[in-house]
């Protein structure tokens, strides 16, 4: 008995699908690993596989340009020093106000001060000073005085401030000691080291003291030359540790990475605000 046409078509479709699946599996196996199995099969049948080489596209030529001339840049020897490790530096106090501004501050507060000018004994330091003598027309033993001096460097950096007062009578004792306290309080305010004024009570009581820490020294003492003679000195001549010395040397622009000549004295450029000049004529 012959098969019906529909049944024959079904069998043909089944075998076609089976052939497609088998071909896909075979192609996957032969082409795996860059066709290694296909090459092996071709060698088994005596065929030598050939590799088609394609030419690589030529790279565009780089445009020629003029080479920059060699530049020599001098480096400070500090760049090649050994690496700094451990606690090689320390906290160091600085009197953060220049001498000229401090002199003006004292003058504005009522102290009679001279102009900020080169020192009498050395042009390497600048100074301003003021002196008041009380009962100047009386006997020398009855005269009292108050002397204030500020010293610094030509660029304005503050070095020291000193007060010396002599009182000959009890009433001048209170007056001059209060002036010394006022000077120290004003200095503490201007330099932003508020703890300097903590010893105001000692000065009022004429009690000598000495403070030496972080490169700053404050000393109040009485002279042995006679009664009623006292000195108050604030300076950056305090005893320094090795770490504090390294900190001071680092910020000393004369020795560490100095600026080129004339840079520090060059005035900053003045940029005028157009709004302050009025409207422009367009």
CB within 8 A of 180, min separation 6: which ones?
A: 146, 163, 165, 203, 220, 230, 232
Between the alpha carbon of residue 146 and those of residues 138, 166, 174, the distances in Å are 16, 7, 12
C-alpha span between 108 and 190 (Å, rounded): 12
Residue 279 pLDDT class (50, 70, 90 cuts): very low
Q: What is the mean pLDDT of residues 261-272?
A: 53
pLDDT in tens, 63-103: 666 666 777 777 777 667 666 565 566 666 666 678 888 89
Does residue 154 sit in helix, strand or coil? coil
pLDDT for 107: 92
C-alpha span between 72 and 210 (Å, rounded): 53
**Is the confidence at residue 203, as pLDDT, over 60?**
yes
Say if residues 199 and 211 touch (Cβ distance below 8 Å): yes
CB-facing half-sphere around the CA of 38: CA atoms within 13 A: 12
CB within 8 A of 33, min separation 6: which ones?
A: none
**Is the confidence at residue 6, as pLDDT, over 80?**
no
Which residue ranges make up each domain of the chain? 12-47, 99-250
């Amino acid at each position: 008995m012959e098969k019906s046409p529909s049944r024959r078509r079904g069998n043909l479709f089944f075998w076609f699908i089976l052939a497609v699946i088998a071909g896909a599996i075979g192609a996957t196996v032969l082409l795996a690993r860059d066709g290694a199995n296909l090459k092996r099969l071709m060698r088994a049948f005596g065929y030598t596989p050939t590799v088609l080489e394609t030419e690589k596209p030529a790279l565009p030529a780089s445009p020629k340009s003029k080479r920059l001339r060699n530049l020599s840049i001098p480096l400070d020897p500090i760049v090649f020093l050994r690496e700094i490790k451990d606690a090689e530096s320390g906290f160091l106090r600085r009197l953060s106000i220049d001498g000229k501004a401090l002199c003006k501050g004292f003058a504005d507060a009522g102290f009679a001060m001279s102009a900020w000018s080169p020192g009498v004994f050395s042009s390497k330091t600048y100074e301003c000073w003021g002196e008041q003598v009380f009962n100047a027309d009386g006997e020398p033993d009855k005269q009292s005085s108050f002397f204030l001096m500020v010293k610094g460097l030509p660029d304005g950096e503050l070095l020291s401030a000193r007060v010396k007062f002599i009182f000959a009578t009890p009433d001048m004792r209170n007056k001059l000691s209060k002036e010394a306290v006022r000077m120290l309080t004003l200095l503490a305010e201007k330099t932003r080291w508020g703890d300097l004024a903590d010893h105001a009570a000692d000065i009022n009581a004429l009690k000598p003291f000495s403070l030496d820490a972080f490169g700053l020294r404050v000393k109040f003492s009485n002279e042995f030359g006679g009664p009623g003679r006292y000195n108050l000195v604030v300076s950056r001549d305090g005893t320094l540790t090795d770490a504090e010395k390294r900190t001071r040397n680092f910020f000393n622009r004369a020795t560490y990475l100095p600026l080129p000549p004339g840079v520090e004295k060059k005035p900053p450029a003045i940029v005028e605000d157009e709004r302050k000049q009025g409207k422009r004529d367009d």
